[in-house]
Structure 1
Amino acid sequence: MKTAEQVTFGGAGLDRAAHLREQPEMLASMLAEGNAQCLILWRGKILVRGERLDRLAPLAAHHDIVVNGPAGPVSSPLFLGIAADGLPWFVRDISAWAPGDLETAALDSFLDQSEQQHPDLPTGHVFAELRRIMTRLSAEEAELAATAKAILGWHHTHKFCAKCGEPSESTMAGWQRICPSCGGAHFPRTDPVVIMLITHGNKVLMGRSPGWPEGMYSLLAGFVEPGETLEAAVRREVFEEAGVQVGAVTYLASQPWPFPASLMFGCAGEALSSDLNIDPVEIEDALWVTREEMMTAFAGEHPVLLPARKGAIAHFLLQNWLADTLD
């Protein structure tokens, strides 16, 4: 695909400098020098600033929140890498902080519109849901935010050894957990997911899950199972959800999706027929949408259909399908 890496979170060349993860003295020196940038996360939300919340709001490594802030599952900053300007980036989790009058119903949801202001930070520095502001960030900042959210999300859900059940400890600057009891080593998890642009002539297959905003449809998607190729996963998921047999399958683009830990593999598939047999357990609805109807939906003029939200790889694939820029 000609523009494959232009997808949100597609990467901007962050040097992950993995060799430094085994050099705690060097990382400590970077933090002490004062030029290190430290992202702050609270319950998976990113600290951002700006009138449109379109910029990350990193803190200096010596800031009191970085040094003494209430910790999440990891109490020290984790190393993300070296940015293009040569500055080292870290992330610090302060999930133990408890804002007053906190509404928890929408947290961890793409519907979360709430913002949390820490009392020790300037006005306008707020924690915001990444899915809400992801398309406003630069490519470099989006990559940093996605990496930070993914690695901290893994620590939150993997505090115990998967071999013996005892508490594990962070090591390798946050990129590994070791069990002191049995010696088991555990590494950040990524779940492969296929998301499919399934076409039949001039039409594309769209589906919706229960609980989505009214009128919102997206491409079908599903997790890759053990022992399964991407192509097989595409054919299985489309048949399970919509009863559509798929022939040729090709890979298009990928997107890290840290909600919580997926890697989305965008694929194109050719449907062998347009007959639908929807499994209501899998999806709420599915339908075929013509190119002309999708163009109307993207223009915001369709009476019913809402396209996949901006920033998601589904929106990216559909946009390139309409522009005829798919390889």
Structure 2
Amino acid sequence: MSEHQYCPRCASPLDMREIAGRVRRACPDALCGFVHWDNPLPVVAGLVEYRGQILLARNAAWTEGMFALITGFLERDETPEDGIRREIKEETNLDARAISLLGVYEFMRKNELIIAYHAVCDGDIALSEELAEYRLVAPERLRPWRAGTGHAVAEWLRRRSLPIEYVDSARLSIAAD
């Protein structure tokens, strides 16, 4: 559950109460009525296909060798398709010319709901400061991981009748030579 301690409306300390069959943080002031529902956040993810290969990126905050799909939070008044186009452009400078839905996946560890797309992209790669590096991986060498966006990778491989061999983490998402 989220770590909210105080009501964002009236600044009263939040209580833990059963509401709608679940324990929630709620304002004790009956006139305020604030309840922190702690719903999952919508995140968009893009399996970026670039010149016949798949682009995997390493976030600047991640350890060496950890690569994954392009992801970001959906913004207010933005469709998921517009959100992934924006994220791909912001993070890689690529333009998505074709987008198709891969699926919607839970990522309970981070309380997120991932809306994943396959995006065929053009342009010249220029990473934002958010990303440290990228790799281009031949589709037949791509390996899904067992959490979050790894399920989207598996779905993309399945649709192309490519072998699906799961690895333990995104750190090992490329087949060894």
State the TM-score, normalizing by the size of structure 1. 0.44
- Cα distance, 1:255–1:175 mapped onto 2, change above 3 Å: farther
Residue of structure 2 equivalent to 1:312? 147
> Which of 136, 140, 146 is equivalent to 1:292?
140
Q: Which runs of 5+ in 1 are unaligned?
A: 1-152, 299-307
Residue of structure 2 equivalent to 1:253? 103
Q: Which amino acid aligns with 1:161?
A: C
Instruction: Identify which of structures 1 and 2 has the higher relative contact order when contacts are C-alpha pairs closer than 8 Å and 6+ apart.
Output: 2
1:185 and 1:315 map into 2 onto residues whose CA distance is 36
> Which of 158, 180, 183 is equivalent to 2:4?
158
Residue of structure 1 equivalent to 2:69? 219
Question: SS state of the match for residue 154, structure 2?
Answer: helix
- Cα distance, 1:184–1:269 mapped onto 2, change above 3 Å: same
Q: Which amino acid aligns with 1:317?
A: A
Q: Which amino acid aligns with 1:278?
A: L
Residue of structure 1 equivalent to 2:166? none
2:148 and 2:130 map into 1 onto residues whose CA distance is 20
Alpha-carbon displacement from aligned partner over 1:68-105 (angstroms, at most 9, x marks no partner): xxxxxxxxxxxxxxxxxxxxxxxxxxxxxxxxxxxxxx
Counterpart contact for 2:57–2:134, Cα < 8 Å: yes
Q: Decide which structure has greater helix share.
A: 1
User: How many percent identity over aligned positions?
Assistant: 26
1:208 aligns with 2:58: yes
2:106 and 2:100 map into 1 onto residues whose CA distance is 19
Aligned length: 157
1:222 and 1:207 map into 2 onto residues whose CA distance is 13
- Cα distance, 1:267–1:167 mapped onto 2, change above 3 Å: same
> Deviation of residue 288 (structure 1)?
2.2
> Which of 175, 179, 182 is equivalent to 2:27?
179
- Cα distance, 1:179–1:216 mapped onto 2, change above 3 Å: closer
Residue of structure 2 equivalent to 1:269? 119
- Cα distance, 1:215–1:178 mapped onto 2, change above 3 Å: closer
Alpha-carbon displacement from aligned partner over 1:100-148 (angstroms, at most 9, x marks no partner): xxxxxxxxxxxxxxxxxxxxxxxxxxxxxxxxxxxxxxxxxxxxxxxxx
1:214 and 1:277 map into 2 onto residues whose CA distance is 19
1:209 and 1:162 map into 2 onto residues whose CA distance is 31
> Which of 143, 164, 167 is equivalent to 2:13?
167
> Which of 230, 236, 244 is equivalent to 2:86?
236
Q: Which runs of 5+ in 2 are unaligned?
A: 163-177
Alpha-carbon displacement from aligned partner over 1:202-232 (angstroms, at most 9, x marks no partner): 2111100135343221111111111111011
Question: SS state of the match for residue 259, structure 1?
Answer: helix
Instruction: Choose 259-268 or 171-180, whichever is displaced more.
Output: 171-180
2:92 and 2:13 map into 1 onto residues whose CA distance is 43
1:247 and 1:175 map into 2 onto residues whose CA distance is 45
1:179 and 1:211 map into 2 onto residues whose CA distance is 35
Question: SS state of the match for residue 151, structure 2?
Answer: helix
2:156 and 2:86 map into 1 onto residues whose CA distance is 23
